Structure 1
Amino acid sequence: MSEGAKSYDASDITVLYEWETIRKRPGMYVGSTGERGLHNAVFEVLGRALNEVLAGRATSVEVTLTRGGGVSVTDGGLGVPVEAAGDTDGPALETLLTRVPPRWELVGCKTAAMGPAVLGLYVTNALSNRLTAEVRRKGTRRVQRYTRGVPVAPPSAVGPAADGGTTIAFWPDPDIFETVECSFAVLAERLHELAFLNRSLRISLNDARHPGEPQSARFQSARGARDFVTFLGAGRGDPFIRT
């Protein structure tokens, strides 16, 4: 090494928290910072909701596009466990939102991996300006809020819950993405495919971004792959319910 070469010591090392690594190189986790990456962030959240269906804990998933670039994904499952201690139903809520998923969760035979990073809620939370998680579990509704991947406060009980399930509402960070407006058509196509692949699934997409021009679509396939063949044979006709 020549004497003129730049020195290298501990002061040249930058230590990043896990969520900071995702925000620093978002394309490595969702593919791009354009529309494709934006949709992949949605698919990461959708994958967790679909896993509730595959595990037999839910039969429906609802995706809603809200004003300001927000996206809400709701499942009718049992609700993500909020407290890890003494609860063996799965990873706690904050663990899912702030930690890399354990390897066993990634390779399960009934696990949906829809995004390129397979990090689920963790990567979407890190790339969101804000995120709100609502859990309806064992008769109680709890809410926890995050800002750019960091919890604002612990989960708090906000009232009773008449049903079970989890809702993840997030707003992709405009400082990260070139656009925060999802394409209704792109999301509808993906949900359409999921309905073919999961005969027990009822899935809906609602667009509430423009009050005067609401859009919605509901997808359900009674015969799965057979419906897909019919769909192709009819010149990509639509055997699903759309409203």
Structure 2
Amino acid sequence: MTDEAYAYDASQIEVLEGWEAIRRRPGMYIGSTDERGLHQMVFEVAERAVNEILAGRATSLGITLTPDGGVRVADDGPGIPVENAAAADDPTLEALLTQIHAGAARNGPHTVSLSLCGVGPCVTNALSSRLTAEVRREGVRWVQEYARGVAITPPVAEGPATGSGTTFTFRPDVDIFGTAECSFAVLEEHLRELAFRNRGLDISLTDERPPGGPRSVRHRFPGGGISPAAGASAPGQGAGRGA
């Protein structure tokens, strides 16, 4: 071969960032593009809410599988900062959803990692055909829409808010995943184990897809797992679980 055949310079290097990198190589961020990867998308969003609860900034997390194939993840924390003037400790909403490794600062040592690569909601946003973010913060309800990782609207104030919290509703992109149906049983098992290992977590899972009507479970283990306050392991003392 000639020297030209081995030529390699900067013009042959392709640099991908943010949503482009995630959509080009999704398996690097969520493990696979099958059912396992779908569930990981849920956990990437849920991690932030779980750590808000363990830090005492929120009390509960709710995950809902919707009839149209979407997933809704909601918490009752203070709400993600929306404006650029937000406190330095927390990324703004758009940064969290578009910048890799823009996760919120963790408060104290008692945190949970559900993310494979520490990317969080950004990877879920990039691999969703649509994502709606709703933030209830300081009396205002903010809404922002995304399509395949790109913001299609700015955050819009939609009126007064009752309470506070953050809700992400997303639909996995069927162009990437072979299936867009999350398994209620798989998610339920994982969330039950998570709640048992971390005393104080209050997690509910609802499936609105069954023809016979919704089904729901709630996991909370007051006497089991690790206490965020004490940081000590304790044997299970019974499970709080409702259907």
- Fold shared, TM-score > 0.5 on shorter chain: yes
Contact 1:196–1:228 (CA under 8 A) maintained in structure 2: no
Aligned partner of 1:75 in structure 2 is: 75
In structure 2, the partner of 1:236 is: none
Distance change >3 Å, CA 162–CA 102, structure 1 → 2? closer
Alignment correspondent of 2:184: 184
SS at match of 2:68: helix
**C-alpha displacement at 1:195, in angstroms?**
1.4
2:26 maps to 1:26? yes
The residue aligned with 1:234 is none
Corresponding residue number in structure 1 for 2:120: 120
Q: What secondary structure, in the 3-state scheme, does the structure 1 residue paired with 2:143 have?
A: strand
**Aligned residue runs from structure 1 range 57-136, under 5 A:** 57-88=57-88, 90-102=90-102, 105=105, 109-136=109-136
- Contact 2:137–2:161 (8 Å) recurs in 1: yes
Q: CA deviation at 1:113?
A: 1.4
1:54 matches 2:69: no
Equivalent residue, structure 1, for 2:215: 215
Which residue in 2 is equivalent to 1:235? none
Tell me the residue number matched to 1:195.
Answer: 195
SS at match of 1:5: helix
Q: 1:209 to 1:9 in 2, by over 3 A?
A: same
Local SS of the residue matching 2:58: coil
Q: 1:194: how far off? A: 1.8
SS at match of 1:80: coil
Write the distance in 2 (CA, Å) between the matches of 1:56 and 1:230: 22
Question: CA separation in 1, counterparts of 2:11 and 2:215?
Answer: 54
Q: Which moved more, 1:216-225 or 1:9-18?
A: 9-18
Structure 1 residue identity aligned to 2:148: R
8 A contact 2:220–2:240 mirrored in 1: yes
Higher helix share: 1
**In 2: Cα distance, 1:34 partner to 1:86 partner:** 37
Distance 1:86 1:123 in 2: 22
Q: What is the CA-CA distance between 1:6 and the residue it aligns to?
A: 5.9
Match of 1:5 in 2: 5
Distance across 1 between alignment mates of 2:63 and 2:235:
22
Change (3 A) 1:102 1:73: closer
User: How do 1:138-217 and structure 2 match up within 5 A?
Assistant: 138-217=138-217
Contact residue 44 and residue 115 of structure 1 kept, 8 A: yes
CA 69–32 in structure 1, closer or farther in 2 if over 3 Å, else same? same
Moved more, 57-66 or 98-107: 98-107
Overall identity of the aligned pairs, in %: 55
1:40 maps to what in 2?
40
Deviations 1:104-143 (A, max 9, x none): 9479623321021221001111111110100000011000
Contact 1:65–1:208 (CA<8 Å) still a contact in 2?
Answer: yes
- Gap change, CA 1:52 and 1:37, over 3 Å in 2: same
Indicate the RMSD between aligned Cα atoms, in angstroms.
2.4
Contact 2:55–2:108 at 8 Å: present in 1 too?
no
* 1:143 aligned counterpart, secondary structure: strand
- Quick one: distance in 1 between partners of 2:50 and 2:183? 20
| Shift in Å, 1:155 | 0.3
Which residue in 1 is equivalent to 2:230?
A: none
Q: Name the amino acid aligned to 1:151.
A: A
* CA shift for structure 1 position 221: 0.7
Q: 1:20 to 1:106 in 2, by over 3 A?
A: farther
Q: In structure 1, list runs of 5 or more residues that go unmatched.
A: 232-238
Q: Secondary structure in 1 aligned to 2:130?
A: strand
8 Å CA contact 1:30, 1:40 repeated in 2: yes
Q: 1:103 to 1:195 in 2, by over 3 A?
A: closer
